């Protein structure tokens, strides 16, 4: 096993890897868009480009379509700085000036922090710059999201514990069954 890193070194490497992953994902989606727009001879092999993506399990088709459509209002040059999800979310902002302000804010934040923006930061930035009127239901959903995520994690942990307990009980049952068969024979 490799020598343990200092926390600062580890964080620096984690940031580098996250940035690379983030940029690679954006490059991948842009590559797909270019392929659909004539960069690859896919016509005739399947009914649609979306079908090709689905058949070869390249990505979630709905996410690709959302990204492709978002590029009609968000310059593709920003994809590597705000990410695939960022492009999709920013495209929902109605005003071009506000979209530009969101992008500038996210790019400044990335330069300052050294990491790409999370989906949560994108949503928060949009809400600060271009607030969307939310219904009571939307507000309740946002407020409860963290609580639900914690509850979900807790339930998953409990399921793992119960699965281990069931496995132990099944092993004990198999042992008892084996002993009973020996006694019966």
- The per-residue pLDDT for 142 is 62
H-state helical runs in the chain: 7-34, 49-55, 61-70, 79-91, 96-113, 119-129, 136-184
Percent of the chain with pLDDT over 70: 89
Better-predicted residue by pLDDT, 103 or 151: 103
Q: What is the spatial distance between Cα 12 and Cα 19, in angstroms, rounded to a whole number?
A: 11
- The per-residue pLDDT for 112 is 92
Dump pLDDT digits (tens) for 103-136: 999 999 999 988 899 989 999 999 999 887 666 6
User: What is the CA angle 89-91-97, rounded to 5?
Assistant: 115
- The per-residue pLDDT for 82 is 93
Phi and psi torsions of 46, nearest 5°:
-145, 170
- Using alpha carbons, select from 113, 70, 18, 10 the residue that is nearest to residue 79: 70
The residue-averaged pLDDT of 138-157 equals 74
Which position has the token pair 């005003």? 95
Dump pLDDT digits (tens) for 33-48: 999 888 677 777 788 8
Query: pTM for this one?
Result: 0.66
Dump pLDDT digits (tens) for 37-95: 886 777 777 888 898 899 899 999 999 999 999 999 999 999 989 999 999 999 999 99
- The per-residue pLDDT for 129 is 94
């Amino acid at each position: 096993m490799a020598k343990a890193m200092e926390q600062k070194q580890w964080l620096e490497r984690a940031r580098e890897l996250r940035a690379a992953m983030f940029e690679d994902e954006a490059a991948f989606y842009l590559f797909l868009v270019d392929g659909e727009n004539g960069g690859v001879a896919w016509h005739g092999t399947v009914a649609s480009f979306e079908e090709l993506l689905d058949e070869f399990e390249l990505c979630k088709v709905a996410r690709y379509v959302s990204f492709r459509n978002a590029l009609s209002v968000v310059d593709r040059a920003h994809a590597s700085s705000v990410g695939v999800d960022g492009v999709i979310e920013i495209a929902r902002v109605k005003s071009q000036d506000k979209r530009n302000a969101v992008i500038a804010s996210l790019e400044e934040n990335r330069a300052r922090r050294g990491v790409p923006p999370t989906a949560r930061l994108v949503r928060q930035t949009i809400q600060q710059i271009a607030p969307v009127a939310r219904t009571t239901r939307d507000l309740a959903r946002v407020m409860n999201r963290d609580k639900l995520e914690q509850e979900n994690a807790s339930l998953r942990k409990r399921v793992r514990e119960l699965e281990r307990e069931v496995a132990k009980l099944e092993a004990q049952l198999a042992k008892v069954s084996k002993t009973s068969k020996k006694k019966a024979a």
